[in-house]
Amino acid sequence: MRVPPGVSPGDFAAALKRFEEAVGKEWVFTSDEDIDTYRDSYSPFWHENEEPIPSAAVAPDGVEQVQKIARIANTYKIPLWTISTGKNLGYGGSAPLLGGSVVLDLKRMNRILEVNDKNHYALVEPGVSYFDLYHYVQEKGLNVWIDPPDPGWGSLVGNALERGGGYTPMRDHFDAHCGMEVVLANGEVVRTGMGALPNSKTWQQYKYGFGPYVDGIFSQSNLGIVTKMGFWLYPPPEAYLSGNVVVSKHDDLFALVEIFANLMNSGMVQATTTVVSPLAFARPDAELAAARASGSTRDLEQYAARKNIGYWSVSLPFYGPAKVVAAQWEHAKEKFSVILGVKFQDGASYRFPLDADQLAKITNPVPFGVPSLQTFSIGGPRSQGHMWFSPIIPMTGEAVLEAQEVFAQVYRDLGSSNSASAAFPVWNFFARAFVIIYFFPIEHDVEKNKRNREIFRRLVKTSAERGWGEYRTHTAFMGDIMDAYSFNNHALLRLHETMKDALDPNGILSPGKNGIWPKGLRKAKA
C-alpha cells in the first residue's frame, strides 16, 4: 500500500479506518485496481516515476461527511486532493499533484438542489455533471439552458472552479456562478455571498453579499472544499443565427479583430467563437507549399485569391429574439464592410426548441446548451491523450500575429515539424481577451513525452517574456506557471501562501494546486 509523504504507515492505517467510519467501508478505496482509476489517463508522465499516484480515495456523500474527513485529515496530516467528477482531462484528470495524496472524490454528492426558470439559476453539488443537469431540465420541462464545456461529462462546480469556458452567452463559467458553500480545512462550513444570511432568499441571485467577496479565492485554489454552488442559467433564446466574415489580405486581420472586439464589448456578439486562417488550414498543394516556403505574404494572398480561400475569417454566433439576431448580423456586416473585399456568408439558423430530428442533424450541439462527448474525436481514434497549452493574449490582430510567430519559432528552435502557425487557434472563451487553446499530444512513449514537456515549458517561458500568461494548466506545470506570475518577488503567490497558512495550517488541502504549497512542502523561491 502507498502512503502519503510524511505519514507513517500506522497513522495512515488509522486514518483510513476513521475515513471508513465516516463514509462507509465501501467508499474508501485502497486497492491498486481502484486507485488506478484515479490516475491521469492523459498523464504526460506515462511510464515514468514522476507520475503522481494517489495512495487512496475517499468518497463522501454529503457535507457532514466532508467535514469529518477534513477533521480526520487534520489529525493525521493527510494530504487530500479534491475532485468533483474528476474529468479534468487535458489538465490532470482526477490525479493529484502530489503523489500519495488521498483523492477526496465528491462524485456521490450529485444532488440538483434547485433549478429555477423564473430567475434562471441552479444550485448543485459538485458531483452533478452537465449531462445530469441537462437531463433534469429536460425531464421537468424547465425553460432554461445550461452552458456545457466541450465534453459534457464533467462537473459544473469543478469546471467553474477551474474557470473553464463554454459557448453560449453564459460562457464564462466562474463568472456565471452565484453563491458557494465551502468546507474549510478546519471542517467548518461557510456560505458565501447572500448565503451567509440564514434562510437567504437571494443566494443564487446576488453574488457579492456584504463585506469582502471571497468566492474567487476558492477557484483554482486549495483554500477550501466547495460543496454547493449556484449558477446563473440562460433563458432559452428564441433563435440562433451565425454569420461568417471572410477577409482576403494578411493585414486585414487588424481591422477584423478591432471590429470584432467592438462588437463583443458592445454586447452585440455574446458567445464563443474563434478567429482562424482558412488559408493556414488549407491542404497544401505544390503551389501553396511553394508560397509557404517563400514566406511571402503577397504570394500567399495571391494563392488564396486564386483558390477563393479566405486569409482570415471569424464566424459570429448570435443568440436571442429572431428579429434582434437578424439586426445584429446586419449591423455586424455594416461594420465589417469597411474592409475592402470582405465577404459574408450566412451560416446556420435555428429556432428553439429544436426537436429530436433537428438536434440529431447537428454535429456539435454544445453551442445550443446540449452536452456532448463529441470533442473526444479530436485526437483521432488512435489518440493516447492530450493536454492543453492555453495562454491569454490581447484581443488585437497584432497580438495574434505575434503569438503565431513567436510560438512557431519555439517549435522551429526545438526542431519540431509541428510549426504551422494555424496550429495556434485563438478563441474568445472569455470577455475582452483571446485565449489560445493549443493541443499537445500525450503518448505512451517516454521520450516523446519528455520532449513535449520541454516544449511546453519553453512555451510558458516564451509567453511570459512577451507578457502573456496561462489561464489554467495541467497539474504537471502548475509550479512553472505560477512562477511566471512573479510581480514584485512573487507577491501574489506569497499572499496565497499567507492565506494558506492561516486557513489550512496543516496543509491538508490539495497541496501544490496552482503552485500553492503548505509551509512544510514549500520550496525556497528562486
Partner 1 sequence: MRVPPGVSPGDFAAAIKQFEAAVGKEWVFTSDDDVDLYRDSYSPFWHEEEDRVPSAAVAPDGVEQVQAVVKIANAYKIPLWTISTGKNLAYGGSSPALSGSVVLDLKRMNRILEVNDKNHYALVEPGVSYFDLYRYIQEHKLKVWIDPPDPGWGSPVGNSLERGGGRTPMRDHFGAQCGMEVVLANGEVMRTGMGALPNSKTWQQYKYGFGPYVDGMFSQSNFGVVTKMGIWLMPEPEAYRDGTVMVPAHDDLIPFVETLSFLMNSNTVRGTMLLESPLLSYRASQGGGFLDMPGGPSVEEMNRLGKEKNLPYWSAELHFWGPQNVIDAQWEHTKEKFSAIPGATSKDGRSYKFPLELKETEDAPRVALGIPNLSVFGLVAGGQGHMDFSPIIPMTGEAVFEVLKTYGQAYAELGVAPKNQFFVLPWAFFPRSFVLLFGFPIEHNVENNKKNREVFKRLVEVSAEHGWGEYRTHVAFMDTVAGVYSYNNHALLRLHETIKDAVDPNGILSPGKSGIWPKRLRKAKA
Stretch that binds partner 1, among 7-15, 344-352, 441-449, 477-485 (CB under 8 A): 477-485
Number of residues that bind partner 1 (CB under 8 A): 103
Residues 354-373 binding partner 1 (CB under 8 A) are none
User: Which CB sits closer to partner 1, 178 or 342?
Assistant: 178
Q: Does 517 bind partner 1 (CB under 8 A)?
A: no
Q: What is the smallest separation between the CB atom of 465 and partner 1, expressed in angstroms? A: 8
Chain centroid to Cα 292, Å, comes to 33
Distances (CA, A) of 361 to 322, 349, 352, 355, 365: 21, 13, 14, 10, 9
Q: Does 353 bind partner 1 (CB under 8 A)?
A: no
C-alpha span between 433 and 24 (Å, rounded)? 47
Stretch that binds partner 1, among 75-83, 256-264, 356-364, 416-424 (CB under 8 A): 256-264
Choosing from 74, 242, 248, 270, the residue that interacts with partner 1 (CB under 8 A) is 270
Choosing from 58, 160, 399, 459, the residue that interacts with partner 1 (CB under 8 A) is 399
**Degrees (nearest 5) of the Cα angle 451, 455, 461?**
145
User: Which CB sits closer to partner 1, 266 or 409?
Assistant: 266
Choosing from 136, 352, 439, 485, the residue that interacts with partner 1 (CB under 8 A) is 485
Residues 280-339 binding partner 1 (CB under 8 A) are 320-321, 323-324, 326-328, 330-331, 334
Query: What grid cell was written down for 314?
Result: 471569424
Q: Which amino acid is at 271?
A: A
User: Torsion over CA of 376, 378, 380 and 383, rounded to 10 degrees?
Assistant: -70
Q: Does 92 bind partner 1 (CB under 8 A)?
A: no
Q: What is the smallest separation between the CB atom of 422 and partner 1, expressed in angstroms? A: 22
Choosing from 9, 49, 141, 212, the residue that interacts with partner 1 (CB under 8 A) is 212
243, β-bridge pairs? 316, 346
C-alpha span between 70 and 507 (Å, rounded)? 11
Greatest alpha-carbon pair distance for the chain in Å reads 75
Stretch that binds partner 1, among 26-34, 358-366, 391-399, 450-458 (CB under 8 A): 391-399
Q: Does 349 bind partner 1 (CB under 8 A)?
A: no
User: Which CB sits closer to partner 1, 247 or 493?
Assistant: 493
User: Which CB sits closer to partner 1, 101 or 328?
Assistant: 328
First to last CA, the chain: 35
Stretch that binds partner 1, among 39-47, 210-218, 351-359, 418-426 (CB under 8 A): 210-218
Q: What is the smallest separation between the CB atom of 469 and partner 1, expressed in angstroms? A: 4
Residues 359, 370 contacting (CB under 8 angstroms): yes
Q: What is the smallest separation between the CB atom of 455 and partner 1, expressed in angstroms? A: 20
Choosing from 310, 317, 441, 515, the residue that interacts with partner 1 (CB under 8 A) is 515
The two beta strands, 102-105 and 80-83, are parallel
Q: Does 249 bind partner 1 (CB under 8 A)?
A: no
Residues 139-178 binding partner 1 (CB under 8 A) are 163, 169, 174, 178
Q: Does 45 bind partner 1 (CB under 8 A)?
A: no
Choosing from 18, 68, 120, 228, the residue that interacts with partner 1 (CB under 8 A) is 120
Q: Active-site residue numbers?
A: 91, 471-472
Q: How many CB atoms lie within 10 A of CB 408?
A: 18
User: Which CB sits closer to partner 1, 290 or 492?
Assistant: 492
Stretch that binds partner 1, among 33-41, 73-81, 126-134, 492-500 (CB under 8 A): 492-500
C-alpha span between 172 and 246 (Å, rounded)? 26
Q: What is the smallest separation between the CB atom of 49 and partner 1, expressed in angstroms? A: 27
Choosing from 6, 10, 24, 267, the residue that interacts with partner 1 (CB under 8 A) is 267
- The DSSP output letter for 235 is P
User: Which CB sits closer to partner 1, 187 or 278?
Assistant: 187
Choosing from 395, 400, 426, 436, the residue that interacts with partner 1 (CB under 8 A) is 395
User: Torsion over CA of 219, 220, 222 and 223, rounded to 10 degrees?
Assistant: -30
Stretch that binds partner 1, among 81-89, 254-262, 363-371, 517-525 (CB under 8 A): 254-262
Q: Does 67 bind partner 1 (CB under 8 A)?
A: no
Residues 6+ apart with CB under 8 A from 390: 435, 436, 437, 438, 470, 471, 472, 473
Stretch that binds partner 1, among 6-14, 276-284, 498-506, 517-525 (CB under 8 A): 498-506
Our separate counts of H helices and E strands in the chain read 15, 19
DSSP secondary structure letters along 396-432: SHHHHHHHHHHHHHHHHHTT-S---GGGS-EE-SSTT
Choosing from 278, 466, 479, 522, the residue that interacts with partner 1 (CB under 8 A) is 466
Distances (CA, A) of 383 to 43, 346, 442: 13, 34, 8
Q: Does 199 bind partner 1 (CB under 8 A)?
A: yes
DSSP secondary structure letters along 352-384: SSPPHHHHHT-S--GGGT----GGGGTT-TT--
Q: What is the smallest separation between the CB atom of 502 and partner 1, expressed in angstroms? A: 3
Backbone angles phi, psi at 511, to 5 degrees: -55, 135
C-alpha span between 137 and 432 (Å, rounded)? 31
Q: Does 422 bind partner 1 (CB under 8 A)?
A: no
Query: What grid cell was written down for 518?
Result: 503548505
Query: What grid cell was written down for 410?
Result: 519555439
Q: What is the smallest separation between the CB atom of 303 and partner 1, expressed in angstroms? A: 30
Q: Does 436 bind partner 1 (CB under 8 A)?
A: no
47: nearest Cα among 448, 514, 472: 448
